Chain A
Amino acid sequence: MTTRQVLNGNKAAAYAAKLCRPEIIAIYPITPQTTLSEYLCEFVANREIDATMVEVESEHSVLSVLTGASMAGSRVFTGTAGQGLLYMCEPYVRVSTCRLPIVMCIINREVISPTTIWGGHQDSFTLRDAGWIQIYVENNQEILDTIIMAFKIAEDPEVLLPVNVCYDGFSLSYLTDIVDVPDQETVDRFLPPYRPNHLCIDPNNPMSVDPVMPGDLLMEFRYKHVAAMENAKKKIDQVDREFGRLFGRSYGGLIEAYRCDDAEYLFVAMGSVVGTARVAIDRVRETGIPIGLIKVRSLRPFPFKEFAMLARGKKAIGVLDRNVCFGWGSGALYMEARSALAIEGLTLPMVNFIAGLGGLDITRDQVVSAVEKVVKITTDKPTQAVHWLGIDEE
């Protein structure tokens, strides 16, 4: 039976992990992930999870331990944030290129410098091209549900890729919300045990792991990796629908459209700020402006076809970024959106908003004023395509 609880984001993640029955957990505490590692340690100590908790000395060791465990056929789980993620960069890329279906939460945090422990998407965005699937969620219920879905996506024989469930540090990790926690039997029905039949290391059947290889084979493995990323697109949608049928909640898979059908303008965001943006969109709609909201859930793979389909025929688009794309002078989601439109031959006026870096609040009024700027760009000539909310507002 489903139980309704009041949980912060890290506790929702810990419950989700527990329900997925991981066999090995390795985790190293770092703000704003810290309580996630504490909850998991507690579950293991109280034998609420039948898992081995490996006490490691660093994030680099976290993913190195899980690499071996996953190769041996275990279902494994972990989570990290900010500098911790950057410290695990080397094994991070090896996990994806070895095609290991590891699920890891990234509790989004800004990166240093300056020293910061607060929220922002710069950590996971920095590693967006490292071969992992990255899904960004809006609230604590979605954290729990997406982790359960993530194992199903990752372990699919057509995918076999690691998945990051990315949720905002502080605004989700430490804030409480009502979360429906499903029962174990239903989750078991949705997510059967992981039984790899493609590759599995076994002392009785020795094999090599990562021997030195020439370029023709490396290219072949990259080709297969890219194809798996493409397969993941339909799998993310499929699993979302399947989850919806069993649990009564679904999130649109790769991308969610909110009040877009009759919209002439679009606003694009991801992560917890989508909740604020929904309220802002409703408010602007009340003034008679037909604007809709796109929530990008999957940054990797990026749903460029689905995005372009929603954008076709609109007058202008605004994109909100909680990160910067160094070298383009904009946010990274903005560049992704531009590329998606270009592939489909669309040339819409677009404006970018950078906000909420280093844990800075993004208020409803700020989003409303951003949305109003989107509406203006077809009438007023934009003097600047990128607005830094809170810095360059007049």
Chain B
Amino acid sequence: MKLKKDQIAPWGKELFIIQTGEWRAERPVLNIRRCQHCGCCWLVCPTSSIREKRDRFQIDLTFCKGCGLCSEECKFGAIHMEREEKQ
């Protein structure tokens, strides 16, 4: 039996295996001039792709699947979705 993981259960380090970023058809784009730092996007993001930096929020697209919740929930219209270009 060849086992790939040391863990006995599905929790621990190095377990982000599924590249959910590859599912993305639209990407969120943040307009930092409109952002009021309320953190609503950070709260609703299911993949924890909104990062809180010292003075502003940032979107990390690695695991963002493009669900659009952040854009939908932003009260200030600071996030809009843009179609991904075919590579």
Contact = CB atoms under 8 A, between A and B. Distances in A.
Interface of A: 71, 97-100, 160, 198-199, 201, 207-214, 216-218, 220-221, 223-224, 228
B79 to A, nearest CB: 23
B42 to A, nearest CB: 16
Interface stretch (B12-20, B25-33, B51-59): B12-20
Contacts of A99: 8-9
Contacts, number: 63
A136 B44 CA distance: 44
Nearest to B6: A198
B10 A207 contact: no
B3 A211 contact: no
14 contacts: A71-B11, A98-B10, A99-B9, A160-B9, A198-B8, A201-B11, A207-B13, A209-B11, A213-B15, A214-B18, A217-B17, A220-B3, A221-B10, A223-B3
B24 to A, nearest CB: 15
Contact of A208 (B3, B8, B15, B20): B15
A224 B8 CA distance: 7
Nearest to A228: B8
Given A212-B18, A213-B18, A214-B18, A207 B8 contact: no
B1 to A, nearest CB: 7
Interface residues of B, number: 16
Contact of A214 (B1, B11, B17): B17
Contact of B12 (A160, A207, A224): A207
Contacts of A221: 5, 8-10
Contacts of A224: 3, 8-9
A97 B18 contact: no
B86 interface: no
Contacts of B9: 97-100, 160, 199, 221, 224
Contacts of A201: 11
B7 interface: yes
Enumerate the 5 nearest inter-chain pairs by beta-carbon distance, A residue then B residue, closest first. Answer: A99-B9, A209-B11, A98-B9, A212-B18, A208-B15
B83 interface: no
Contacts of B3: 220, 223-224
A394 B13 CA distance: 64
B8 A216 contact: no
B54 to A, nearest CB: 19
A71 B4 CA distance: 22
B16 A199 contact: no
A284 to B, nearest CB: 47
Contacts of B20: 212
A208 B1 contact: no
A98 B1 contact: no
A220 B5 contact: yes
Contacts of A97: 9-10
Contact of B17 (A98, A100, A213): A213
A221 B10 CA distance: 7
A322 B9 CA distance: 34
Contacts of A100: 9
Contacts of B10: 97-98, 210-211, 213, 217-218, 221
A201 B7 CA distance: 13
B17 A220 contact: no
A199 B5 CA distance: 13
